[in-house]
Amino acid sequence: MEPPAQPGLDRQLEIYKAGLSGVTPALPIAYAALEQKARESLPPESYDYVAGGAASEDTMRENLAAFQRWRIVPRMLRNVSQRDLTVELLGDRLPAPFLLAPIGVQGIVHSEAEMAVARAASSLEVPIVLSTVSSKPMEQVADAMGTTPAWFQLYTPRDRQLAASLLSRAENAGYRAVVVTLDTHILGWRPRDLQRAFLPFLRGLGLANYFTDPVFRQDLPQPPERDPVAAIMKWTTLFSDLSLTWEDIDELRKMTRLPMILKGILHPEDARLAVKHGMAGVIVSNHGGRQVDGAIAALDALPDVVQAVDGGIPVLFDSGIRGGSDAFKALALGAKAVLLGRPYIWGLAVAGETGVREVLQNFLADFDLAMALSGCDSVRKLDSSLLWSAQPVQTV
């Protein structure tokens, strides 16, 4: 399947034409209805694991509210008959300025997990970022991606030999970049999961990359297949490392030839440090409001980070992207591309590979129409002159 030339129009026509034979879309189109349908299809603990955030969930709500504070001011009469949605990122040309955010342990929402996501994403040439804590081993997922770029997300394990092993596996499997997530060196306080006493990893879920790793396996008394409990206990001792500093980032960089991107940057000073330490990009993100409750909405952090980086490296964005207009606003505020998070997981929960594909097609269509209707024929021309905010913009 090729990415469509007119994603918005083609998708609308496909749906409306099917309507002539009485067929309506199987997957809910509106985000709230999609989430609701996923909720009905999932065990409650899985739904809450994906839907929930840290503590009062204030930051999770703020992530969405921040988008509402910015409004698009459409331009007219600008010949938008062709839109160029493509973007060049780390040497790859992407059909549209979005990727799939790393979301761990997808096996709790669908048995095919990251394999279904990889098949759906690659069919539309949308890159993925595979989580360290995926339910399927990284080599299998890379195979399913074919020639579509995939990046590997690293949670830096306390054992640096294991970090080196994960990085070299990612390189050998064909991943084209490493995304080091900085905001989760320990899990946030998550009332929904605590209330249900549900942490998937302690049940052996989401540990495929560890259990298949030669360094992880080497000093276990029994292989994980024979004694999963011992393997899980070992994982608990090395997942989190609260001692990480910029020196560790320098060390990690020496372990791989892949370009390195830091995820979880919110403060402009950290963005400057990322440039100084030779990073290939940063991702402005607060992990979907799952880590620091009361943290700044990711969108509110974006303009200052863009300014601090000053065009030196690409700034990507996630946390709160729900539809095409959200992507439009983040790009207009200086993001080079955005990462889609929870929405594709709901698609996976409802209809596996087909569900993910439909979420991506709908998102792309919605974004393409937002571009056309706002008078933009190229993502490169998006800037803050197309936005209006009722509130004065503060800076850190």
Judged by the rule CB under 6 A, the positions of this chain that interact with ligand FNR are 49-50, 101-104, 131, 133, 153, 181, 263, 285, 287-288, 318-321, 341-342
Q: At its nearest, how many Å lie between ligand FNR and the CB of residue 73?
A: 24
Tokens of 278: 């030779």
Q: Tell me which residues are annotated as active site.
A: 287
Distance of CA 316 to the CA centre of its chain: 10
Evaluate whether 99 touches 337 at the Cβ level (below 8 Å).
yes
Q: At its nearest, how many Å lie between ligand FNR and the CB of residue 98?
A: 11
Question: Taking the CA atoms of the chain, what radius of gyration do you get in angstroms?
Answer: 20
DSSP state, 111?
A: T
Evaluate whether 93 touches 324 at the Cβ level (below 8 Å).
no
First CA to last CA distance, the chain? 45
241: number of Cβ within 10 Å: 16
Q: At its nearest, how many Å lie between ligand FNR and the CB of residue 150?
A: 14
Helix, strand, coil shares of the chain as percentages rounded to 5?
A: 50, 10, 40
Q: At its nearest, how many Å lie between ligand FNR and the CB of residue 321?
A: 5
| Nearest CB to ligand FNR, comparing residues 40 and 227 | 40
Nearest residue by C-beta to ligand FNR?
341
Q: At its nearest, how many Å lie between ligand FNR and the CB of residue 13?
A: 29
Evaluate whether 27 touches 350 at the Cβ level (below 8 Å).
yes
Q: At its nearest, how many Å lie between ligand FNR and the CB of residue 118?
A: 15
User: What are phi and psi for residue 138, nearest 5 degrees?
Assistant: -60, -30
| Nearest CB to ligand FNR, comparing residues 181 and 374 | 181
| Nearest CB to ligand FNR, comparing residues 49 and 119 | 49
| Nearest CB to ligand FNR, comparing residues 83 and 324 | 324
| Nearest CB to ligand FNR, comparing residues 76 and 242 | 242
Tell me whether residue 378 is exposed, middle or buried, using C-beta atoms within 10 angstroms of its C-beta: 0 to 12, 13 to 18, 19 or more.
middle
Q: At its nearest, how many Å lie between ligand FNR and the CB of residue 100?
A: 9
How would you classify residue 393: left for phi > 0, otherwise alpha for psi between -120 and 50, otherwise beta? beta
Q: What is the C-alpha separation between 293 and 62, in angstroms, rounded? A: 10
DSSP state, 76?
A: -
Q: At its nearest, how many Å lie between ligand FNR and the CB of residue 286?
A: 8
Q: What is the C-alpha separation between 126 and 3, in angstroms, rounded? A: 9
CB contact burial 61-91 (16+ within 10 A = b; e otherwise): ebbbebbebbebeeeeeeebeebebebebbe
280: number of Cβ within 10 Å: 19
| Nearest CB to ligand FNR, comparing residues 313 and 345 | 345
Evaluate whether 177 touches 260 at the Cβ level (below 8 Å).
yes
Q: What is the C-alpha separation between 133 and 193, in angstroms, rounded? A: 17
